[in-house]
Structure 1
Amino acid sequence: MQYTVNGESHDTAPITVAELVASITPAASGVAVAVNGDVVPRSAWDRPIAAGDAIDVLTAVQGG
């Protein structure tokens, strides 16, 4: 199954949004996800990623 994460193409077995986020960052908070331009609340991260989805994973960074 192919999908895009932060502009990079990926080809893996089916996974959920939560599994994808866990594979990208160990952060337990400060993470936002959008799928096809729609923000996905953390309560919906158990949704599966579909072929062709464009996913953006953003993490908060401290600093100034």
Structure 2
Amino acid sequence: MNLIINGESRQLDCHKVTDLVAQLSPNSQALALAINGTVVPKTQWSHRTVSDGDKIDLFSVIAGG
């Protein structure tokens, strides 16, 4: 499946967000994710699917103040 990850085209074999995140980042605790411009809460990652051509934006969450 061809996905656009942070602006870069990538071929990945995944259908669920959890599979995608597992392939891209070993530490999903500090990530936020959007599909086609819509933020997907972590509570939905296990049942949310991705489709060929989706634009995925991954963000590292950084604590600060």
TM range (shorter): 0.7 to 0.9
TM normalised by structure 2 equals 0.78
TM-score by length of 1: 0.79
Identity of aligned residues (%): 38
Alignment correspondent of 2:7: 7
Deviation at 1:11, TM superposition (A): 2.2
* Dislocated runs of 4+, deviation >3 Å: none
Question: How many residues in Structure 1 have an aligned counterpart in Structure 2?
Answer: 63
Listed as ranges, the gaps of 5+ residues in structure 1 are: none
Q: Does the C-alpha gap of structure 1 residues 8 and 42 become closer, same or farther in structure 2, counting only changes over 3 Å?
A: same
Unaligned runs of 5+ in 2: none
Alpha-carbon RMSD across the aligned residues, in angstroms, is: 1.8
